[in-house]
Amino acid sequence: MVNSLSLQEVYDVVEKAKQHFEPILSSKTFGYYTGVWNKLITYAETSADSSNVDLCSFYEKVAHTPAYTKPSTKWWMMQARAVFVLGDLIISAAPKREYTYNQASYAGIFTNEFNKYIAYRIDEGKASETIRKEKLEVANLLTALEDYGITSLQEVTADHLLCYIASINPNYSDAWKRSRAYTARRFLCCPKLNLSFSYDIDTLLLGYRHNKKQRLESFYTTAEIKAVMNAVDRDTPWGKTIYAMMLLACIYGLRVSDIRELQLESIHWKEQTIRLYQYKTKRFVELPLTEETTLALLDYIKNVRPNCTDTHVFIRHTRPYMPYSKKDNFGSKVSYYFKKAGVNTEGKHHGLHSMRHSLATNLLGENTAINEIASILGHSSAKSTKRYIWSDIKHLKLCALEVISNGN
């Protein structure tokens, strides 16, 4: 995000924003955005230094929150978005449908311990998204401990931890509660903090353990996957779109995030390869472009994809023409075709990610080596791959031996 602009740059980007958004927004929403942009012009014109207009300060002024963090009301969030889109237009990028807010840093009495833990997790090589989530969760934990009157982490008792877990909104999912429970465990057991307790934290949080078998039984046979694919109506725009997405999931095992973020420049038609940067692992992979995938992608791009400047492969069909956001996992669309194909989904997930699981399990059934499957799925460790294929007990025992023998 650009933090400062000259007065002329403010004039230029506001004019650019008005030209971009007027045709695609309702008059009411466009009026809200224009109001914020006009405030920015006034703010810039009255700035002490017209060559260095502080965009961070303006954001704080209209969003009523520290720069680029999440506002507390929907009205202020709309004003914040009006500033965010300017940041994209300044660098000639397409405005995003959804923006990720910065998390306000923790600044309480345990700031030193907080910083030590985050540095430790970064040194472990954890992904930026993992770090972002843990910052928020640890900050929530430490704020709660302060509210309980704790002045030293060594004072944290089992009752304090149980009280913290119990305070989590009961409407939140079990997965949400487990995440916070285990972040609390990781934090308090961090070797850099040198804490010791008279109780066993693992035993204390036993009730929040994740039952992996319940979560992972989401694979389908090759015949079932083919039936689902054949159920897609490829004469409709959405059918062409979801068919291409499903092929990427079941042939290459791509994550939903990688399908959403796939770029036009990642498809090398002449070389018949897909070279992409994996959203989760931050690694580049190169995949062979099969004939079936080539035809499906060409059909979508030629006949469905809107003609726009955005470089994502998959773009929404309606204005404003933008890429799909993190909230779009296409589960309901894919589930419809599972049902249409008559595939039994009871007790299983039945979205795009289940096709990734199915690829792993079916490869294992064909005696593909565990480390090769890990490579196909883009896992940094074969241990991650074991989660996808637990259901094939006979082969899983062999996998365990193979993982150990390879030192992973």
What is d(CA 365, CA 29) in angstroms, rounded to the nearest whole number? 54
Q: C-alpha angle with apex 140: 137 to 144, nearest 5 degrees? A: 140
CB atoms within 10 A of CB 308: 15
**Candidate list 135, 240, 316, 379, residue with the active-site label:** 379
Three-class DSSP category at 373: helix
379 is catalytic: yes
The alpha carbon of 271 is separated from its chain's Cα centroid by a whole number of angstroms, namely 30
- Residue 203 neighbours by CB under 8 Å, 6+ apart: none
280 is catalytic: yes
Tell me the CA end-to-end span of the chain in Å, nearest whole number: 39
Would the CA dihedral through 46, 49, 53, 59 be positive or negative? negative
**Candidate list 279, 300, 337, 388, residue with the active-site label:** 388
What is d(CA 304, CA 367) in angstroms, rounded to the nearest whole number? 39
CB atoms within 10 A of CB 80: 22
Lookup: tokens for 32: 């809200």
356 is catalytic: yes
Altogether, the residues listed in the chain come to a count of 408
- Residue 248 neighbours by CB under 8 Å, 6+ apart: 254, 258, 259, 262, 293
317 is catalytic: no
Tell me which H or E stretch contains 179.
helix 174-188
**Candidate list 280, 282, 333, 387, residue with the active-site label:** 280
What share of residues in the chain are helix, strand, coil (percent, to 5)? 55, 5, 40
Evaluate whether 131 touches 118 at the Cβ level (below 8 Å).
Answer: yes
> Cis omega before residue 95 (within 30°)?
no
Q: C-alpha angle with apex 257: 254 to 260, nearest 5 degrees? A: 95
**Candidate list 255, 260, 312, 350, residue with the active-site label:** 255
388 is catalytic: yes
Evaluate whether 264 touches 276 at the Cβ level (below 8 Å).
Answer: no
327 is catalytic: no
CB atoms within 10 A of CB 49: 11
Catalytic positions:
255, 280, 353, 356, 379, 388
